[in-house]
Structure 1
Amino acid sequence: MHDLGWPDVRATADGGLESGGIQNSQAGAHALAMYTCNAKYPMDPKYNVPLTDERLGELFDYFTDELQPCLAAEGYDTPEAPSRETFIDTYAETGGWNLYEGVAGNGQSEWNAINKKCPQLPVDFNE
């Protein structure tokens, strides 16, 4: 992104990108730069493999047994858990269950800290 004229873009601790404020008139150029970078540096295919029902069950167990209690212990409210069956059946369309929706508006440093303390996925999930 820097090479393409976006020096303010930086990688975040959770693997994302932070672009800062982008004016509406720059949105197209920014999108083209993102597209170019994604083509030049594609995501490892292991992150794009559809999850089996068994893997979704493992993810649901992590969410209910570890992630939700961790976030609650840190003072975050989390949405009520769907049933295991609903989570598995709707994951492809909805992402299943977003326990982090109450964390999003609290700033990047807090986001990074809670992601480190309460990882959104099990550490070895994509291995």
Structure 2
Amino acid sequence: MIRGIRGATTVDQDDADEILTRTGELLKEMARVNRLDPENMASICFTLSPDLRATFPAEAARRIGWQYVPVICMRELDVPHGLKKAVRVLMHAETPLGQREVQHVYLRGAVVLREDLKADVGARD
């Protein structure tokens, strides 16, 4: 079964290295808590909040060795109450986990987005 797995993190500034580091950290944590191998990933969609533009967060997948996972970057909607300096991820992966077993990962300031779905991995500042 292909499942959608959500994740998000925030950065302190619009800096390419920080965006790639935090996104890589998020991807690895999403894979770890859901016991996923890149070979079982169908695709990954990334969005950036409108205040981030220093780099493509999808590059983080390449940096951690996920060379063959299809990726795409998009812009998050610019709504007044939207989370600032946020990178969001929607990963599609083949997994035996049921929808209620999938662990969604929200790190740093992104823990406020879906506290009802986040994995019990702890907020990181």
More relative contact order, 1 or 2 (CA 8 Å, 6+ apart): 2
Higher helix share: 1
**TM-score strictly above 0.5:** no
Q: Normalized against structure 2, the TM-score is what?
A: 0.31
Q: Normalized against structure 1, the TM-score is what?
A: 0.30
Q: Which has the larger radius of gyration?
A: 1
